[in-house]
Structure 1
Amino acid sequence: MKTFILSAGTVLPVSSKPLARASVLVSDGKIREVAKTSALLKKHAGVTEIKLGNGILLPGFVNAHTHLELGWTQAEIGAFTGFTGWLEQLIISKGAPVLEEKITASVSEGVKSLVSSGVTTVGEISSYGGLDKPILEKSGLRTVLFREILDSNEHKTDFNFKPGKGLIEERPFPHAPYSCNPRLLRKLFRAHHKNGVPFGIHLAESPDEVEFVKCCANKIEGKIFPLIGKEAFERPKAESPYGYFSKMGLSEGDRATLIHMVRVEKEEAAEISRLGLGIVLCPRSNLFLQVGAPPFAYYSRIERLGIGTDSLSTNYNLDFFEELRAFHLLLSQVMGDKAARKSVHAATLGGAGALYLEDKTGSIDPGKEADLIYIDTPGNFRDPYLSVISSTSAGLGMVMTAGRVLYKKDGIPLPDSV
């Protein structure tokens, strides 16, 4: 079935106001039209209507930052104090021999967790030479596969990335300011200015990182470098991680996805917004690592603002509904009644924007890919945005990427062949 109409009690385009008793026309995997059900059925008589129910049809969630390959490390993490206390344990775990099957099983289980919580797009960090890629290619998820780059693997990294096509595209991901020396970061910027492919980086995550870029005594050089046999390297002094990052070659028109951004100043957030850089916040991970909550008050007006669960080494699970609720609770402290709409925006169109995919996904607009989810919301809040936030995986009725059904609940009248 190449052309069909999905109807629901409410259609939540995200880019525009909610529509009651509305439908979406899908053809060849793309959204063609959004309108009231009665008008759409009259205009397209003869096209099959699939009645999803009285719940909400909205864009699929964008989990903009994950490390699915690290699922197995959760069982290796014990009690710790602070960011470097956790990092020491992770390094020791990753330093021991691990079977490829253990890593690929983590990716497969992670994919199931994503789909079962309404995710249709993922920003995945690939740390093991692409073991996750074949699984993600088969998953049907729209994927930005960030190839992790560190000082230790720079020599075997091809920086000539090309713009992606289809559901999966690869981009560079220099790990962090403390794991990539200035020469590597400047090389990355030169490649970016040449090929235009967006890139990502962990930035401004912890107090330890702040001390590192200030060239003060810090636990990263004091504890982590000796643990991995890494020599300290010369670097320019900066007052903040973002300031340090800027010195590496940041210029107008650059497209970078900045992950975490906990230790950021107000004027830096304003500059990030002006430059159109993407930010992905991982609130549960930040609290788990004891680095504090991101400065939500600075980010309320940023359009390219997304949400990520991070990895199972820094989170209890990969349930995007739970991450969305944590995000909303923190954002509501500074945005009040506007927080629910902004939170759903961050979970969809904002996340797509943070990954520079807003031309393909993130909202229900004609011409975009049919990346859609349906949530049954009986008895939930009157406000549709709050209804989405308060929902759980149990209420998820359908997950679709580019018109392909990845999941459907029993009772949803949707053919597998769609």
Structure 2
Amino acid sequence: MPLTRKAYRAAILHSIDDPAIVGIDASYEYFEDGLLVIDNGQISALGHASDLLPTLPADIDITHYQDALITPGLIDTHIHLPQTGMVGAYGEQLLDWLNTYTFPCESQFADKAHADEVADIFIKELLRNGTTTALVFGSVHPQSVNSFFEAAEKLDLRMIAGKVMMDRNAPDYLTDTAESSYQESKALIERWHGKGRLHYAVTPRFAPTSTPEQLTLAGQLLGEYPDLYMQTHISENKQEIEWVNELFPERNGYLDVYDHYKLLGERSVFAHGVHLCNDECARLAETGSAVAFCPTSNLFLGSGLFNLPMAEKHNLNVGLGTDVGGGTSFSLLQTLNEAYKVMQLQGARLSPFKSLYLATLGGARALRLEGKIGTLQPGTDADFLVLDYNATPLLSYRLKQANNIAETLFVLMTLGDDRTVLQTYAAGQLVHQR
């Protein structure tokens, strides 16, 4: 196979650490006239164009972008494939919303043709919005995950997904059993986990919809395959927390339910965490677990405001999640727009460089993939985006007033959306062109 070496020239920006730990100035690298060199799907060099150009062969293919910014591909640490068809559903809080909209929509995934169609739409939406890696909930049906992975594999995407495990407190047409969920999950793991750039996540929907028997078997799966992921929901809504306390009176709160069933660990990601307390944040951090911050969804469903400064105090890994369909946009740029407001409402600030970190390297760390994605460091996968400064007339005009990269970045996150993403690359291949 011939070597494929290409270079991309533009302004280039990426996170190299968490601003909350190292300070803003040490948290990123910015090249006003930068060059990114790709060899066989991986980044082989990054730096100033003036330094790197003399080191390259004369006949190398160089794509030069004007008025554009190259960043790492965005990472969505919480999203639901089967809810694509009910995004933007009106007027309920979490538990009523599940019963009114979500469960009927998810029931359609018993049909493989439907699952195939939605997987195609879903992946195109991710890539159109610059998301190159996502941690994805399927439905209770194994075919939802097969359809998703089949579509992701064709494009060599780094994706993580799992079949929902749900054996109670849901409609009969949408429940499995403890044993069937274990066997179906195991078959999916054997087929997909570690294939190409795909990974499997054990996926109990949330504590109220799983019996103790099912949660026990979820923990057993994690023990049988040590590098699996685990994803579920926690402390999203106050009614939900009360319900968990009623269903598991013997446990010391919501997190303790998952802890008891051995579901905490370095590849465990808990969505929302809006109402976590200090002790729960400390326990999540101690076990290496992560939280997916889903501001758009938390505002849309009236769930509450995630306390990012508390998570930072405990050095808890936090990624960003769109949570489509509770969230109303596939765009992580728009999700960061909402995250900024969530912090403002709590008297806290979210700097543009912390935002960049959450959407890229922070998500990679939450998923334990920081050596592969989330930055543009040489040796990592060539998952990156080209953001267009002239995507809309307003964005173009506003960015002409920007005085530095911090202001440019903040404007991209406030006014930007899918139109801003000119191109998306995965493993060095162009997978979306606006």
Report the CA distance shift for 1:96/1:64 in structure 2 as closer, same or farther (over 3 A). Answer: closer
Report the CA distance shift for 1:13/1:32 in structure 2 as closer, same or farther (over 3 A). Answer: farther
Give CA deviations for 1:164-221 in whole Å, capped at 9, x if unaligned. 2422222211111111122322332233133211211111121122112322xxxxxx
The one-letter amino acid paired with 1:213 is: V
| SS at 1:214 equivalent | helix
| SS at 1:292 equivalent | coil
Q: Structure 2: how far apart are the matches of 1:116 and 1:95?
A: 23
Q: Is 2:157 aligned against 1:141? A: yes
Report the CA distance shift for 1:244/1:138 in structure 2 as closer, same or farther (over 3 A). Answer: same
| SS at 2:208 equivalent | coil
1:28 positional shift: 0.4
Aligned to 1:266: 278
Report if aligned partners of 1:297, 1:334 keep a CA contact under 8 Å in 2: no
1:393 positional shift: 2.4
Report if aligned partners of 2:13, 2:71 keep a CA contact under 8 Å in 1: yes
1:91 positional shift: 5.7
Aligned to 2:50: 38
Q: Is 2:219 aligned against 1:167? A: no
Report if aligned partners of 1:13, 1:365 keep a CA contact under 8 Å in 2: no
Alignment of 1:365-380 (within 5 A): 365-377=377-389, 378=396, 379-380=398-399
Q: Structure 2: how far apart are the matches of 1:91 and 1:54?
A: 41
Aligned to 1:65: 78
Report if aligned partners of 2:230, 2:263 keep a CA contact under 8 Å in 1: no
TM-score normalised per structure 2:
0.81
Q: Is 2:400 aligned against 1:389? A: no
Q: Structure 1: how far apart are the matches of 2:266 and 2:13?
A: 34
Q: Structure 2: how far apart are the matches of 1:352 and 1:244?
A: 26
Aligned to 1:201: 232
Report the CA distance shift for 1:62/1:373 in structure 2 as closer, same or farther (over 3 A). Answer: same
TM-score normalised per structure 1:
0.84
Provide the identity percentage.
20
1:299 positional shift: 2.3
Aligned to 1:7: 9
Report the CA distance shift for 1:332/1:356 in structure 2 as closer, same or farther (over 3 A). Answer: farther
Q: Structure 1: how far apart are the matches of 2:42 and 2:332?
A: 24
Report if aligned partners of 2:317, 2:362 keep a CA contact under 8 Å in 1: yes
Q: Indicate the larger mover: 83-92 or 398-407.
A: 83-92
Q: Structure 2: how far apart are the matches of 1:303 and 1:97?
A: 37
Query: Which 4+ stretches in 1 moved above 4 angstroms?
Result: 94-103, 332-338
- Aligned length, in residue pairs: 387
> Which blocks of at least 5 consecutive residues in structure 2 are unaligned?
18-27, 168-174, 390-395
> Which blocks of at least 5 consecutive residues in structure 1 are unaligned?
216-233, 410-418
Report if aligned partners of 1:70, 1:103 keep a CA contact under 8 Å in 2: no
Aligned to 2:300: 288
Q: Is 2:98 aligned against 1:87? A: yes
The one-letter amino acid paired with 2:10 is: A
Give CA deviations for 1:321-370 in whole Å, capped at 9, x if unaligned. 21121123323566856522111111111112222222211111111100
Give CA deviations for 1:229-249 in whole Å, capped at 9, x if unaligned. xxxxx6353343113222223
Q: Is 2:324 aligned against 1:311? A: yes
Q: Structure 2: how far apart are the matches of 1:92 and 1:13?
A: 38
1:137 positional shift: 2.7
Report if aligned partners of 1:11, 1:23 keep a CA contact under 8 Å in 2: no
Aligned to 2:126: 114
Give CA deviations for 1:277-334 in whole Å, capped at 9, x if unaligned. 121111111222221122222123546311111123x233323221121123323566
| SS at 1:290 equivalent | coil
Alignment of 1:232-271 (within 5 A): 235-249=248-262, 254-271=266-283
1:143 positional shift: 1.0
The RMSD of aligned alpha carbons is 2.6
Q: Structure 1: how far apart are the matches of 2:421 and 2:5?
A: 23
1:119 positional shift: 0.9
The one-letter amino acid paired with 2:81 is: L
Of 370, 386, 403, the residue aligned with 2:428 is 403
